[in-house]
Structure 1
Amino acid sequence: MKKHRALVVDDEPDIRELLSITLERMNIDVVTAGDVATATRELRNGAFDLCFTDMRLPDGDGLNLVEWIQTHKPHIPVAVITAHGNVETAVRALKLGAFDFISKPLDLAVLRKLIAATLKLGDSSESTIQLPQVKLLGKSARMEQLRELIERVARSQAPVHIYGESGTGKELVAHLIHDASARRDGPFVPVNCGAIPTELMESELFGHKKGAFTGAIADKQGLIQSAEGGTLFLDEIADLPLHMQVKLLRVIQEKSVRPVGESREIPTDIRLLSATHKNLAALVAEGKFREDLFYRVNVIEVRVPPLRERLEDIQELVDSIIARLGKQIGNADLSVTDNAVKTLSGYHFPGNVRELENVLERAATLCSNGMIDVGDLQLRPKVAAADVPIQSSVAPGEKLGEALEDIERDAIVRALEQTRYNKTKAAALLGMTFRSLRYRIKKLGIE
């Protein structure tokens, strides 16, 4: 079995010795350097599997060394050592390509986890990282660029923010990043921030101790701790209330979590991925999203293109969806006419890939003889986002309360249909909060 080799760069002898002892106990050979010049010389002349570097060195900045490694030895994962609380420097290092960071004073348990993850990454980089069997379909230039970006960001521990319209496949992208990373054997925990009631959010994310509040009859592990050793994916992160944004910021900065009712913080080892269809920068300007959290979660941004920007992928997507639908309904001969594909290729798809799936699923039910034609697609005309037609008249003798409920029900159903049942988007269309919409849906018996 190959013995790994590490380079430790720090001008403090005590830190070099602590790191050396920890690495050697993990059966890793260690070379040390006290400045940038010595470190660069060692990197030029030797082979290394990982590198730790301090930020402040006698003859330069650790960030300069990170840049040098990314240019000359990009296969070597590099982790930076920062002063306690100096997250800004850590974020700059991650943007430059550092694998991860650790703060002084060094926590040995956290350090060992970081070393193990770094070595795992190095081992997987000996051969080209392959994306898993679940694929991101499409051969367009935009999708090729997206796949290349996924492979690059998978090599880092840096937080990634995935931006894209509803229905573009943001969670799939998050899953691919996890599956191509050194954390692929750990859990992938997706959380829809807009679907958790505000009063339960802290307990759901952070967990709680028995007796912490009325109804807490036992200890409960939070979703953050459930992602230990793996990836936490916060979907619709823009829906996090401000008080929860503060708590999440602390998790990112301190790499620890405090369950409700717990007196101490518990170290946690997760990678954070987030996503939203909203413009976070605009929300920051409006005071609805914390600027400091924005810079922490948006270290690397991955944009998922809408379907209308890659219409050349329609044929491949249609073939894949039809093959799946054919198996589901037991019709291996299910197909789509050329005219139907041409019509789909000219459609604007406000609901993106999810809408294409819904259109084809409905058409498969309506079509004759297993052949989907233009008439079976029932595509909607292009409508402005605010145009949700509502029947507002009340028939003579009709009870006002019942009539208003019918009007409200009709408006909600139409908004849900227009947004392909994306409740967050439908709520925005109707000018109400997600939670209000969910309450009305339940009250009116819509689902």
Structure 2
Amino acid sequence: MTTHNALIVDDEPDIRDLLEITLTRMGIKAQTAPDLASARKLLEEHTFHLCLTDMNLPDGNGIELVQWIQQHTPATPVAVITAYGNMDTAIESLKAGAFDFVSKPVELPRLRELVSSALKLPQPKAEKDTDEDEPGLLLGNSPQIRKLRNQTRKLARSQAPVFISGESGSGKELVARMIHLQGPRRDGPFIAVNCGAIPSELMESEFFGHKKGSFTGAVENKDGLFRSANGGTLFLDEVADLPLAMQVKLLRAIQEKAVRPVGDTKEVPVDIRVLSATHKNLPELVQQGNFRQDLFYRINVIELAVPPLRDRVDDIALLARHILERIAREYECDPATLTSQALERLQGYDFPGNVRELENVLERAFTLCDEDAIDADDLHLGNGVPPFASVTGMSTAPQEIEGGSIPVPDGEIDLEGFLESIERQTIEKALEATRWNKTAAAKRLGISFRALRYRLKKLEME
């Protein structure tokens, strides 16, 4: 069993003793230092798996020690002990590279959580600039994506809140997953939530949970997203869509590391890391008064920008190959490749929808190409896709639909579900008419055999 060594830096003997006793009971060997100079000396002479430092020291402050450790022994996570309620100092220490912070008076359960989390950090690998980074969620060899992978590795070694900015479809959730999977919380849950998709009247219950009977429809206790993410990471996507009233409650939950379920009288502690993202201009929303400045500063301790696909054109070939291989696996079809003309057309396109748009374009081209090669003519870029073809993958509308034999229901409809039902009925009719000969049915529908196999798999009609 590995013995972990920790360094405690504090000028108050009572605090040093308290921290040393706490760590010793956790099976950690602790050494202590009363000031910066002696701390640096010990760090030069010994290897430590963790450092706890007070903010105010006789010959400097804790942030100076954080910066020194970042420069000389970056593998050592350092946590700063701050004065109660001094969030500005705490945020400053996180920006300097601290793993985390704990406020005075030190709550021992919170300290033990912090220490346990720090000791779970994987040992950093030797710096390398290749596309072999693990886990390989962010594919690409461009300088922009290499830099982004390097940044996620570093940020994974901290508990600082990270704000991920970038256009829609650029891969912000993948970046959040990379940070989670490379950090000490990788064995805990990763909970992603689209803040814009939750009705405002249900938002508090969704985030914080509720007690049975607390409101009409609350037929059982519910944990909520914060408690579901306990021990892991909560990713707040499209955080700019939160209403102002919810922003206040979210800020409190993040600061207090506790939530109060709807209908409950007491708070429940939670141990989570918060990552957030939006494609909107958050500083501009703050200026307009549509996003709280205090919440903005709390979630935007460190900002990470995800480059749009048009800024890393050289990655399109690798991404396209990966996407086509995944589609072939999912639908149990032979893989398809891009011709040089098709690749050239993709690389010349602006991709306002970024990687998500590339996936959609390739998925449709995969179903429409006759052979195993996707040519430039198989790619439907921009807005020139016929509405029916874009949903069904069929190149022409079958006669049954042209004749208007399928009535459109009155009132509000689920368009996706309605179109899917049309597609399902049309395919069934074609198969019945051809005695379930798939080749003949595909010809009748005006699509390739590959496209029919793909639709059958996607609609679970096999």
Q: Same fold (TM over 0.5)?
A: yes
2:298 matched residue in structure 1: 296
Q: Distance in 2 between matches of 1:326 and 1:62?
A: 54
Question: How far 1:88 moved relative to its partner?
Answer: 0.8
Aligned residue for 1:102, secondary structure, equals strand
TM-score (norm 1): 0.83
Q: Distance in 2 between matches of 1:135 and 1:199?
A: 35
Question: How far 1:132 moved relative to its partner?
Answer: 4.0
1:60 aligns with 2:29: no
1:27-176 paired onto structure 2 within 5 Å:
27-121=27-121, 123-125=122-124, 131-176=133-178
Q: Distance in 2 between matches of 1:255 and 1:333?
A: 48
1:205 aligns with 2:210: no
8 Å CA contact 2:342, 2:375 repeated in 1: yes
Q: Distance in 2 between matches of 1:47 and 1:132?
A: 26
Q: Distance in 2 between matches of 1:332 and 1:54?
A: 61
Alpha-carbon displacement from aligned partner over 1:46-75 (angstroms, at most 9, x marks no partner): 221100111112221111111111111111
2:376 matched residue in structure 1: 374
Q: Distance in 2 between matches of 1:79 and 1:132?
A: 26
1:190 matched residue in structure 2: 192
8 Å CA contact 2:135, 2:178 repeated in 1: no
Q: Distance in 1 between matches of 2:66 and 2:249?
A: 30
Alpha-carbon displacement from aligned partner over 1:393-447 (angstroms, at most 9, x marks no partner): xxxxxxxxxxxxxxxxx9xx89xx8xxxxxxxxxxxxxxxxxxxxxxxx924423
2:181 matched residue in structure 1: 179
Residue 226 of structure 1 aligns with an amino acid whose one-letter code is S
Q: Distance in 1 between matches of 2:358 and 2:253?
A: 38
Question: How far 1:226 moved relative to its partner?
Answer: 0.8
2:336 matched residue in structure 1: 334
Q: Distance in 1 between matches of 2:267 and 2:274?
A: 18
User: Which range moves more in the overlay, 3-12 or 328-337?
Assistant: 328-337
Structure 1 moving runs of 4+ over 6 Å: 126-130
8 Å CA contact 1:191, 1:233 repeated in 2: yes
Q: How many residues align?
A: 391
1:446 matched residue in structure 2: 415
8 Å CA contact 2:55, 2:61 repeated in 1: yes
1:389 matched residue in structure 2: none
Question: How far 1:368 moved relative to its partner?
Answer: 1.6
Residue 116 of structure 2 aligns with an amino acid whose one-letter code is A
Question: How far 1:4 moved relative to its partner?
Answer: 0.8
Alpha-carbon displacement from aligned partner over 1:93-139 (angstroms, at most 9, x marks no partner): 00000000111121111111111011111x53377898544421110
Aligned residue for 1:80, secondary structure, equals strand
Aligned residue for 2:251, secondary structure, equals helix
TM-score (norm 2): 0.81
Question: How far 1:324 moved relative to its partner?
Answer: 2.0
Gaps of 5+ in 1: 383-409, 418-441
1:340-419 paired onto structure 2 within 5 Å:
340-380=342-382
1:385 matched residue in structure 2: none
Alpha-carbon displacement from aligned partner over 1:238-290 (angstroms, at most 9, x marks no partner): 11111111111112222222212222222211111111101111111111111
8 Å CA contact 1:85, 1:253 repeated in 2: no
Q: Distance in 2 between matches of 1:336 and 1:126?
A: 36
Gaps of 5+ in 2: 391-410, 417-462
8 Å CA contact 1:110, 1:267 repeated in 2: no
8 Å CA contact 1:131, 1:176 repeated in 2: no
Question: How far 1:45 moved relative to its partner?
Answer: 2.0
1:272 aligns with 2:271: no
Aligned residue for 2:246, secondary structure, equals helix
1:222 matched residue in structure 2: 224
- The partner residue of 1:318 within 317, 320, 323 is 320
Alpha-carbon displacement from aligned partner over 1:317-358 (angstroms, at most 9, x marks no partner): 111112222334444252221101101110000111111111
Residue 74 of structure 2 aligns with an amino acid whose one-letter code is P
- The partner residue of 1:305 within 291, 304, 307 is 307
Q: Distance in 1 between matches of 2:338 and 2:153?
A: 34
1:249 aligns with 2:251: yes
Distance change >3 Å, CA 329–CA 4, structure 1 → 2: closer
1:423 matched residue in structure 2: none
Aligned residue for 1:285, secondary structure, equals helix
Aligned residue for 1:208, secondary structure, equals coil
Distance change >3 Å, CA 105–CA 261, structure 1 → 2: farther
Question: How far 1:224 moved relative to its partner?
Answer: 0.4
User: Which range moves more in the overlay, 157-166 or 326-335?
Assistant: 326-335
Distance change >3 Å, CA 137–CA 119, structure 1 → 2: same
CA RMSD of aligned residues (A): 2.1
Q: Distance in 1 between matches of 2:329 and 2:223?
A: 39
Residue 446 of structure 1 aligns with an amino acid whose one-letter code is L
8 Å CA contact 2:135, 2:182 repeated in 1: no
1:23 matched residue in structure 2: 23
Q: Distance in 2 between matches of 1:209 and 1:99?
A: 35
